[in-house]
Homo-oligomer: A and B are copies of this chain.
């Protein structure tokens, strides 16, 4: 009977965990479709109008937010991509004169990456356009809908991050 109780608990737990699983899966697939759609359009316009790839734009955006520069690792964390990836993108951006890498004083393992003046100017020009593209694509949403989506996606993000912790002990 101890066994039975356990089994019943497990079934209940499974069903609770599965609550709306199908709907959550559909939500996920739709979110993926949406971001792929927007990302594809942004990528195409960056290429066509500025001859820039999206990863380079993203890295420049991260650096623009940090006028004093960032370490390679910090760029990697902000863009949520691997370290090695950042190395490659930084090399190409440096080759094009848009960023510079210089040794970090006090830690010879580390490098500080910064936008050059040319990089800053190029980014700021693109950023204005980029914001307009996004606003144009989302023009079918009211300000309230934008706010609701922003809020719920924040909650969803926290749910994903929180789900990891519950995992550890499992």
Which A residues are closer than 8 A to B by beta carbons? 17-28, 30-41, 80, 130-132, 134-141, 143, 145-150, 152-163, 167
Contacts and interface: CB of A to CB of B under 8 A. Distances in A.
Contacts of A34: 31, 153, 156-157, 160
A17 to B, nearest CB: 7
Contacts of A31: 31, 34-35, 38, 149, 153
A57 to B, nearest CB: 12
30 contacts: A18-B132, A19-B143, A20-B146, A21-B132, A21-B134, A21-B135, A23-B150, A24-B134, A24-B135, A24-B138, A24-B141, A27-B138, A27-B153, A30-B154, A31-B35, A31-B153, A32-B39, A34-B153, A36-B80, A37-B80, A37-B157, A136-B163, A137-B160, A137-B163, A140-B159, A140-B162, A145-B155, A148-B148, A148-B152, A149-B149
Nearest to A140: B159
Contacts of A39: 32
A83 B16 CA distance: 41
